[in-house]
Structure 1
Amino acid sequence: MVRVDIPIEGLKYLSTAVKVLDSFSNYITISRSYLMVSQIDGSHTKAIHLVIPTGSGRSRSKTYEYDAYQLQRAIDNILSNCKNGTFIETDKEDDREVMIIGGYDGDVLITMEVDISESDYKGMRLDRIKPRYYIRLEPKKLVSIFKPFTRQERFSELHIIRERGKLYIETYDDYIIGNRTRVYIPSEVKYNIPMGTYRFRIVLAKDLITLSKLSGVEEVIIRLDLNYPLKAIFNNKHGFTLEYYLAPKSI
């Protein structure tokens, strides 16, 4: 049995994921550190992943097949009736495996069961996929990291570089020779982004930071929703990938 405590905001993201992936080939990967909902469409080169880090600890992950209608119904019921202490756990009852979506309404425990089966799908080794990119920072820290770049509303070169074990974001103004801006990324940032040079447009709105990159046939759009540590959307040449990340408020 694996139990994952998940904030209500994370359960809402999971609800969105299940709606997006409403088909007959859905998988949910569960570990103590993250949840991932996936859909395989024909081949291992085309998939959609929605990842919700939970920050609950490390453990081996397991991938299950689930029924989208059952899971959506269960999540909606918990979101409608529970105000705190929401969680997901897996268990075995008689000859079936179940996923239990639960939460508390005050001191009252409410649970919903969803039939699942352990997946034998190995085409993408879903059990080995880990969250690729998420940031555990308060919104004010996010703004402080990216604000120096938002003064430039035109395309500029933006470098993600590593020097002496530290990571920096660095940009050059296209029109002012020698005008360089460098910002240190503190160690609280957890990520797996490639080093190198990219062409980015960076826009800071009231509650949203948008970074966009276009390189050949590959386009990457990263939206940093300041209401949560990070919400990201990726689209790449290997197929369509949609990823939402939510780090718990407790971090």
Structure 2
Amino acid sequence: MTDHSIRGKTVLIAGGAKNLGGLLARDLAAQGAKAVAIHYNTDATKPAADETVAAIKAAGADAFAFQADLTTAGASKKLFADAKAAMGSIDIAINTVGKVLKKPMVETSETEYDDMTAVNSKSAFFFLKEAGTNVSDNGKVCTLVTSLLGAYTPFYAAYAGTKAPVEHFTRAASKEFGKRGISVTAIGPGPMDTPFFYPAEGEDAVAYHRTAAALSDFSKTGLTDIEDIVPFIRFLVSDGWWMTGQTILVNGGYTTK
């Protein structure tokens, strides 16, 4: 019988230095992962990456950090190659990379659109491609999307629109990789209480988001807290393996689908 537990497994997390990715890296190490490799994008994030590496090691797992701009196919290929060389295998691959833009369509420039596409769609596609080549048989793959995929709203066309293709990437990858026992999922949190959220929103919008979910009154911030997302990702990359090809919105009732 296949072991779907996290204990003894090797994990690669894109965007794993801080916020949700950093907490997830710490959590999976505490759950018994043998080794965790984290990716970070810029030099500014290196101190956070170093802290996360130290926390992973303190939990008893091996830890590695790799810097890369994943908006090129070559960078994803190198990241997987480096992580596999460091850990010996990749059993679980999780991509938390994303970029938010809140702006009317009529004000969105071609440069902004291309940038959002590169970060939210292209990088996700090539991360999944490399996962299909490098993740071990019976492995797990999960990509972070957004609960705006279930929303009817203005101003997020470039953000939600460039995350939307990941739903199909997930379905296609799950069909293609399923013959090797690999499950592939996407998870869409609601607006999260992280530094990525606030610069895109005005005070009125923040106030709205803090009350929009059905369970907002029971969240410490009213928003989706990263601590509430980690258990769902942990489940999807372990005992929840039978769920594949799905995009799951986890947001306390912020949107449904």
| TM band (smaller chain) | under 0.3
Q: Normalization by structure 2: what TM-score?
A: 0.26
Q: Which has the larger radius of gyration?
A: 1
Which one has a larger percent strand, Structure 1 or Structure 2? 1
